[in-house]
C-alpha cells in the first residue's frame, strides 16, 4: 500500500499546518514538538559536557534542529490559541 503524504503533513499525526485541526490536536502536537526539542537539548548538553573534541558541523545542525522543533511547537500553540479565541466569538 502506497500512502502518500499531503504536502502539509510533516509526520504521522502532525496537525501543525492543517487548517481544520482541532484545538486539542494542535495542543497535543505542540507538546510533542516541544518534548522533542527538550530531549535533543538535553542530549546536546550531555554531549558538550562529556566531549573535549566536538564536531562543530554536527553540533550546529543539531542546534538548528532544536530551533525548528521549537518553532513548530510554538506554531501549533499559537494556532491553538487563535482557534480558542475564534471559538469564543
The pair phi, psi for residue 88, each rounded to 5°, is -70, -30
CA distance linking residue 63 with residue 7, whole number of Å: 25
pTM, full prediction = 0.72
- pLDDT (tens, 9 = 90+) of the chain, 89 residues, equals 445 555 445 554 454 467 788 899 999 999 999 999 999 999 988 888 776 767 788 888 999 999 999 999 999 999 999 989 988 87
State the alpha helices, DSSP H only, in the chain: 23-50, 56-88
Task: Identify the helix (H) or strand (E) that includes residue 13.
Answer: none
CA 2, CA 10: separation in Å to the nearest integer? 17
Amino acid at each position: 500500500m502506497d500512502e502518500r503524504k499531503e504536502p502539509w503533513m510533516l509526520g504521522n499525526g502532525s496537525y501543525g499546518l492543517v487548517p481544520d485541526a482541532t484545538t486539542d490536536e494542535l495542543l497535543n502536537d505542540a507538546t510533542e514538538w516541544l518534548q522533542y526539542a527538550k530531549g535533543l537539548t538535553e542530549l546536546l548538553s550531555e554531549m558538550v559536557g562529556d566531549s573535549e573534541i566536538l564536531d562543530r558541523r554536527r553540533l550546529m545542525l543539531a542546534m538548528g534542529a532544536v530551533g525548528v522543533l521549537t518553532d513548530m511547537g510554538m506554531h501549533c500553540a499559537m494556532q491553538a490559541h487563535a482557534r480558542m479565541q475564534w471559538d469564543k466569538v
